[in-house]
Each structure stands twice: as C-alpha cells, then as structure tokens.
Amino acid sequence: MSTKDEVFEKVKEALIDALGVDDDEVTPEATMVGDLGAESIDFLDIVFKLEKGFNIQIPRDELFPDDILTNAEYVQNGRVTDSGIALLKQRMPFADLSKFEKNPVVQDFGNLLTVQDLCNYIAAKVGAV
Amino acid sequence: MRWFLIDRFEEFISGQRATAVKAVAMTEPSVDDYSVTYPRFPSSLIVEGIAQAGGILVSQINDFKNRVVLAKINHSAFHFFATPGDRLVIDVEILNLQEFGAVVSGMARVDGRIQSEVELVFAYLGNEFEGVQLFEPGGFCRVLRCLKLFDVGVNPDGTPIHVPQHMLDAERFDLEKYDQYFASQAAS
C-alpha cells in the first residue's frame, strides 16, 4: 500500500514529465491550469501516466465533470446552481470546492483542480494511508 | 498534394499495433534539398511518418469516423541520420486509449538498429469542429488501399479488417462523378 507521500512523489513525477515543469513548481497548492500551464490535451497524457504509474483506471468523468457543467439543469446564466454544486461535491469528494462555491462561474471551474486534489483522488483510488 | 511519409503497412493489428515501412530515396526533394552536400531524411518528417502510421492505427478503431489529430510529442530521440537507400521500419503501438484520444509509442529502425523513438498523443476533434473534414473520404480510402492497409490489416482475433461501408460509398460516389465527367467530355 502506498503512503500519501509516495502518491505525491509519483504524481509530481507524472506532472513534470507531462508538462515539462520544474520540480519546485509542483507544489500541493499549485493549480493544474493556472500555475502549471496544463492544457486540455495534457490531461489525456497525465491520465495515461497516472493510470500506468498506479495501475488504476481513471474514468474521465470522475476528474472532469463536463456532463454536469454543460447540463442546463445544473448551470444557469453561466453559473453552477446549488443542485449542481451538490452534485459536484458528491462526484469530486477529493476536490476543495469551497472557493468555487462562493462564486461558481462555470468558466472558472477549469482552473480549480490543484495538485493536492489530484493526489487526494489517487490516494482514495489506491487506498493510500 | 499531401505528403505521405510511409510507403506501406506490413503488419496491422486493429487497436493494438502496426508496422509500416518508408524507403528513403535521393529523388525526394526533402532528402536532396534539406542539407546541401549531406542528403538525409529530416527527423521531423520521420516523426510525421510515425504519426501517420499511429494516427491511422488509432483512427481505424472507429472505422475512420473519429477525426484524429496529432496533439503532442511527448518524447523524441534520434540516434543517427536516415540517408538515401535506408529502409525505415516503423513500429507503432497504442499504449493507452481514452474517450478523447490515445497515447502511442513509435520507433523507426534501419537494418535492425533503432534510428528514432517517440511517444505521441493523439486527440479526437470534438463537437466544436463539427463539419470540419480532415480528409475527403473517397480519396483517403484510396490512400489506405495504396498503403496495403486492407491487405495486411487484421483484428486481434486474426480475422481481416474490411473497408468501412461509408468509405466504399464515398469511393463509389467518386467513380460515378468521374464517369459522368468523362461521358460529358466524350459527348462534347
């Protein structure tokens, strides 16, 4: 069984490899898009590296809830509704949505995911302690 | 014309891997003109050849209905120059297949020696590119026939792969168009 530190180190390695970022840029607080410069295509590569590194399957909708963010039932006037937020929390228990919740503009969602969120997701998948 | 940077497939297992060949010739302007007095096949074009083989491998999974584009070159290494007379044997393998694209490894060898190694990320164009057609289907089908894809291509269980119906329809449409053109020329 991996420890959370081991998960972080492996995630860091995957991000350095996929994004060409420096070792010291990959901090738990760094956002994938804003701080590390990840583009949509990079996530395909990152998912591959994480699946390979941890021997797990990562269904896309677990990390990227596009189906919620494009559903008129959960998005009104470019903002995620209360029921949408509730569903996001249920779908993404690993992510800290507290900031987003205060001003849930859909277009800001892409810059929400941090390295720590990713580590939390993986840790839950592999049962890290 | 488009550049086709592989000459033919020698092995093709749907959804898994493929082997293609590319013969490097002095008659190619890209070889002759690239570096005066030292003809060699540019490494960038070798990557493109590997990407063409890999792209076809990924695209065939869905009967060439997905619009597959090369999105990223993860790693590339070139160990020596490919020069006229060399026969590049290109191996591509799907490492990871996802809903939105695929990761493919590629290697080119000359006489068994590894000439280049790459890892490529392919993406499927999404709905925002609705209506964008990368290839004219009838023409693309003829290219795939020229590359011997349907001669050597098999499914993982060994059964041959077939030309998709939508491509056969496109070929038939093209032929009818040509027939009409030649008939009108003969009549005038």
B102 forms beta bridges with: B97, B122
Residue A26 identity (one-letter amino acid): V
Q: Are B79 and B114 in contact (CB under 8 A)?
A: yes
Under the banding of pLDDT at 50, 70 and 90, the label for residue B2 is low
Highest-confidence segment of A5-9, A82-86, B116-120: B116-120
- Is the Cβ of A15 closer than 8 Å to some Cβ of chain B? no
- Give dist(CA B103, CA B119) in Å, integer: 7
| Cβ distance of A45 and B99 shorter than 8 Å | no
Cα B101 → chain centroid:
16
- Give dist(CA B140, CA B175) in Å, integer: 14
- The reply to whether ipTM tops 0.95 is no
- Is the Cβ of B101 closer than 8 Å to some Cβ of chain A? yes
**Secondary structure of residue B3 in the 3-state scheme:** coil
Q: Are A89 and A97 in contact (CB under 8 A)?
A: yes
- Is the Cβ of A13 closer than 8 Å to some Cβ of chain B? no
Would you say residue B143 has pLDDT above 50? Answer: yes
Nearest CA distance, A129 vs chain B (angstrom): 28
For the record, the structure tokens of B72 come out as: 């990223």
Cα nearest neighbour of B125 on chain A: A41
Of A63-67, B96-100, B138-142, B144-148, the range with the lowest mean pLDDT is: A63-67
| Cβ distance of B96 and A51 shorter than 8 Å | yes
Q: Which long-range contacts (CB under 8 A, 24 or more apart) does B141-147 make?
A: B141/B167, B141/B168, B141/B170, B141/B171, B142/B171, B143/B4, B144/B56, B146/B8, B147/B4, B147/B6, B147/B7, B147/B8, B147/B9, B147/B20, B147/B56
Angle at B73 between CA B72 and CA B79, to 5 degrees: 170
Residues of B in contact with A47 (CB under 8 A): 96, 98
Highest-confidence segment of B50-59, B63-72, B128-137, B172-181: B50-59
| Cβ distance of B74 and A45 shorter than 8 Å | yes
Q: For the segment A19-69, what is each residue's pLDDT rounded down to a tens digit?
A: 999 999 999 999 999 899 998 888 889 999 999 999 999 987 888 887 888
Q: Are A65 and A92 in contact (CB under 8 A)?
A: yes
Q: Which of A17, A42, A47 lies nearest to residue B98, judging by beta carbons?
A: A47
- Give dist(CA A106, CA A101) in Å, integer: 11
Q: Which residues of B41-78 are buried (b: 16+ CB within 10 A; e: fewer)?
A: bebebbbbbbbbbbbbbbbbbeebebebbbbbebebeb
Q: For the segment B23-49, what is each residue's pLDDT rounded down to a tens digit?
A: 999 988 888 787 878 899 999 999 999
| Cβ distance of A45 and B121 shorter than 8 Å | yes
Q: For the segment A76-123, what is each residue's pLDDT rounded down to a tens digit?
A: 988 999 999 999 998 888 888 888 888 898 888 878 889 999 999 999
Q: What helix, strand, coil percent values describe chain A, rounded to 5?
A: 60, 5, 35
Would you say residue A1 has pLDDT above 60? Answer: no
pLDDT at B37: 83
Q: Are B174 and B137 in contact (CB under 8 A)?
A: no
Averaged pLDDT for residues B65-79: 92
